[in-house]
Amino acid sequence: MGFEAFSAAVRQAFPEVTEAQLELFRLMEGLYTEWNSKINVISRRDIGSLYDHHVLHSLALARYLQAFRPEVYSSAISGTTPESGMPVHRIKFLDLGTGGGFPGIPLAVLFPSADFTLCDSIGKKTHVAREVSAALGLRNTEIVNARAETLGGGFDFVVSRAVASLTDFYPWVKGKYTQGILYLKGGDVNEEISALMQRFPLRKGSVSAWPISSWLEDEYFAGKFVINIL
């Protein structure tokens, strides 16, 4: 997918997107191509699919919030509630295992009224995320090189993209969020959800899976989900 096709998909899905935001998305291709030639944060064979396999995949979390948590989506987009238009507190997201900045950087571009802490334990990866974020002029991101267990709490949401199994990931962030985990995951998610529910005392209905293919029809997204853990 080239930028024009990506731009059309984003305009259709997120009508609030501005030309300035689209320009930031456009700049990502050159930035990630340059940095990936120095520090491999995206598979060499996959860098040509940056927009669909990485940026658009990250924005599936925004699409999920738009559909199922419109009050959060509105707050992150404009800093107001959809019903009253009144200001609300800035939503705080923790992107754990961000690598070179996914899903955090695309979300930070789309959600200027939210704050993002992008964390990874590998320093060279956070270096790329920090440099890309700075080049884009993002003021709502903080890049942290640390392990999950060293982080404090106080986040509204934790977001991540398949850095570990759900049973491994959940203990890393338990107690650090107030509203939920939004996890990009593929494969047999029903088996993982079942294992998670058996290992931890989560209430029935607190874990759900939304197929990204209900939004993006490309075969790449078949079998990929947004897992929501309340």
pLDDT number for residue 44: 83
pLDDT number for residue 36: 93
Q: Would you tell me how many other CB atoms lie within 10 Å of the CB of residue 16?
A: 12
pLDDT number for residue 131: 97
Residue 140, SS3 per DSSP: coil
Residue 119, SS3 per DSSP: strand
Question: Which tokens is 35 given?
Answer: 């940095």
Gap between the Cα atoms of 145 and 33, Å rounded = 22
Helices (H) and strands (E) in the chain, counts: 8, 7
Question: Which one-letter DSSP state was computed for residue 205?
Answer: T
The beta strands (E) that lie in the chain are given as 92-96, 115-120, 141-145, 155-161, 177-186, 207-211, 224-229
The beta strands (E) that lie in 32-188 are given as 92-96, 115-120, 141-145, 155-161, 177-186
Owner of token pair 């507190």: 89
pLDDT number for residue 29: 96
Gap between the Cα atoms of 37 and 83, Å rounded = 46
Residue 101, SS3 per DSSP: coil
pLDDT number for residue 222: 95
Question: Which tokens is 175 given?
Answer: 């107690």
Q: Is the pTM of this model over 0.75?
A: yes
Judge contact between 150 and 94, C-beta under 8 A. Answer: no
pLDDT number for residue 14: 98
The beta strands (E) that lie in 46-137 are given as 92-96, 115-120
Cα distances (angstroms) measured from residue 57 to each of 106, 107, 184, 196, 225? 9, 10, 8, 24, 10
pLDDT in 10s for each residue of the chain, 230 residues? 999 999 999 999 999 999 999 999 999 999 999 999 999 899 888 899 999 999 999 999 999 999 999 999 999 998 877 666 666 789 999 999 999 999 999 999 999 999 999 999 999 999 999 999 999 999 999 999 999 889 988 999 999 998 899 999 999 999 999 999 999 999 889 999 999 999 998 988 999 999 999 999 999 999 999 999 99
